[in-house]
Amino acid sequence: MGIAGTAVAALPVLSACGIGGSFDAPNGAGEVSGPFDWRGAEGTTLNLLQTPHPYQQSLQPLLPEFTELTGITVNADLVPEAAYFTKLNTELAGGTGKHDVFMIGAYFIWQYGPPGWVEDLNPWLANSSATSDEYDFEDIYEGLRTSTRWDFDLGSPLGTGGQWAIPWGFENNVVAYNKAYFDQRKIALPDTFDNFIQLAIDLTDRSENQYGVATRGSKSWATIHPGFMTQFTREGAKDYRLEGDELVAAMDSDEAVTFTEKWIEMQIKAGPTSWTTYDYPNATGDLGDGRAMMVYDADSATYTKNKPGASAQAGNLGWYPGPAGPNGNYDTNLWTWSLAMNSMSKNKHAAWLFIQWATGKQAMSKAVEGGIFADPVRKSVFDGVFKQQLDDMPGYLDTFETVIGSSKILFTPQKKFFDTTEDWAVAIQDIYGGADARSRLSSLARTNTSKVNL
């Protein structure tokens, strides 16, 4: 999978999978009593479903430590990214409970949670017999905790309802740039979106195979969620608004239309010539190769490009939050890989002990020390071992600290997310191809309003 964000670009659209029947298995947290004991599920064999990823790769060598601590044997099955969510969707819908714990992205909670496929972890967190006093759930950044919590009611915000997964690693969608090039030419970092666009245009020289800014542009929901959704929100636009008991798509508001027109102008004048095919690896690859001067995407994705030997521009890159909104806000959309429990698991106590251990301070600190685990979800781990690795990452720390207070999932949660957000990406491509922005976005808004209220 490469680094965080690769999966985001490659995940299949699952709207066709639908939402299957509802399961109602006992939670099991209330059955755990007495003093907390890491060996409370000793002798259990636990099955994990994962996809190859730096977070997974960082934790894999530590699994023997978990077994030594708990007496629980762990079998970890790896599925390539292209097939991962299709396999997970099929397994959860079948209710087999084959895999007790699995990796999940927060948006997938909106699809897998309503039919009862995913366990609510709130009862486990609340039970001191099941959760160590040292776990410190509040140490996980608030935007991540709330982004994995929802009550599944139309129009309800994130942060309500069950805790359907525990964040494990994440990324902020900000700007990485060729700092060596900027420094040599004394180029200032732009503070407004208009200035950002103009700089991207000024940096573009097609005769030299150089262009200003790389973003995703393919017909995928993943095109909308990184830089686009971050700047869309900073500029005052929203995806949906609640009117009475109906969710109304707002992609055709004045703010949304104005932003979209500017975003498309930027792609035409300062983006890659094959922008409509671009996913995460293309965008960050162009930054690493020196073709793109800036990338508006995942911080942890571009993080690896600056490591020695990782790219032609290794050692030359820097980071900044990207342009603030007109009111000075730095609202930033995030992605989080999280760990969830199968509601049909027969080994729920062991599953919770694993999730608790894997997302705990000690294991996460050790995983981060490996050098490819970015960003850690815990403030104590970020402020500890991760900060020690940022000496050769100019601007990374300042960027993180600027946005983390307003970093969260900025989409309105809704069960047709993948279908409607892919429709949004198709509309963006149509506008890039010459369609009138206002009329095309109005058509999109009507379609999406109909879909989300079914």
Q: Residue 6 pLDDT > 60, yes or no?
A: no
Domains delineated in the chain? 6-171+336-408 (3.40.190.10), 172-332+415-452 (3.40.190.10)
Separation of alpha carbons 239 and 397, rounded Å: 30
Confidence check: pLDDT of 9 > 50: no
11-15, 167-171, 304-308, 368-372: lowest mean pLDDT where?
11-15
Structure confidence at residue 371 (pLDDT) = 81
Higher pLDDT, 1 or 304: 304
Q: Could you tell me which residues are beta bridge partners of residue 48?
A: 76, 101
Residue 8 has pLDDT above 70, yes or no: no
pLDDT at 25: 79
**How many CA within 13 A on the CB side of residue 435?**
17
CA dihedral 47, 49, 50, 51 (to 10 degrees): 140
Span 67-101, pLDDT tens digits: 999 999 999 999 998 899 999 999 999 998 999 99
Mean pLDDT score of the chain, rounded to an integer?
94
Give exposure, 421-447, as e/b (b: 16+ Cβ within 10 Å): bbbbbebbbbbbeebebbebbbbbbeb
User: pTM for this one?
Assistant: 0.94
Mean pLDDT of 368-388: 94
- pLDDT-based confidence at residue 208 (cuts at 50, 70, 90): very high
Q: What is the average pLDDT across 124-135? A: 98
Residue 327 pLDDT more than 90?
A: yes
Q: What pLDDT sits at residue 22?
A: 62
Quote the pLDDT of residue 21: 53
- The one-character DSSP state at 306 is G
Q: Stretch 18-36: mean pLDDT, rounded?
A: 79
**pLDDT given for residue 187 in this prediction:** 98
Rounding to the nearest 10 degrees, give the CA dihedral for residues 370, 317, 51, 162: 90
Checking if the pLDDT of 13 tops 70, the result is no
| pLDDT above 90 coverage of the chain, percent | 90
Say whether 36 sits in a helix, a strand or coil: coil
Could you tell me which of 201, 194, 185, 342 has the C-alpha nearest to residue 270?
201
Confidence band, pLDDT 50/70/90 cuts, at residue 390: very high
- Interval 426-437 mean pLDDT: 98
Q: Name the residue with tokens 């900025």.
A: 410
For the chain, how many residues are written?
Answer: 454
pLDDT at 12 over 80: no
In the 8-state DSSP scheme, what is residue 391?
A: T
352 pLDDT higher than 90:
yes
What are the tokens at 406?
């307003």
Question: What phi and psi, each to the nearest 5 degrees, are found at residue 442?
Answer: -65, -40
